[in-house]
Amino acid sequence: MYLERLILRQEGEEILQDVKQVLTKTATINNPRQQFNNWLKSKEGQAWKQKEFKKRNGICAYCGEKMREQDIDVHHVQPISQYGHSANTISNYRLLHPSCNSKIQTQVVDLLF
Ligand SMILES: [Zn+2]
């Protein structure tokens, strides 16, 4: 009897661990920041970044200075923190120096384009 209860308890704990794992995974998948990072790492995201860099002649949308292609951040005009998933659309992205991006962070500021 005691042993049966012990086994049941162990099984219950294993199921709980599985459920926790699924919940964590789901939360990650649904996280708009995570979705953006995944897109940016993808072929599509990288291709967009290259194209956008050429289109803007490598100019930072915040300070107007030239950027190095290997050293750029993708900034959200409307921040993810406020707009969630709807901030994840190409028309909401601008290329910035990482230093400019970290200066403005989640503030909504006037950009050059
Ligand atoms: Zn800049």
Alpha-helical runs (H) found in 1-113: 2-30, 32-41, 43-55, 80-83, 98-104
CA 36/CA 40 separation, integer angstroms: 6
Q: Mean pLDDT across the stretch 5-25? A: 92
The rounded Å distance from CA 32 to ligand 1 centre is 25
Phi, psi of 25 (to 5 degrees): -65, -45
**Beta bridge partners of residue 73, listed in sequence order:** 96
The rounded Å distance from CA 85 to ligand 1 centre is 25
The rounded Å distance from CA 47 to ligand 1 centre is 21
Residues 6 or more apart whose CB falls under 8 angstroms from that of 39 comprise: 45, 88
Work out the pLDDT band at 27, boundaries 50, 70, 90: confident
Q: List pLDDT tens digits, range 65-78.
A: 999 999 999 999 99
The rounded Å distance from CA 92 to ligand 1 centre is 17
Q: How far is CA 89 from the centre of its chain?
A: 12
Global pTM reads: 0.79
Instruction: Name all domains of the chain by residue range, CATH numbers in brackets.
Output: 31-104 (1.10.30)
CA 5/CA 80 separation, integer angstroms: 48
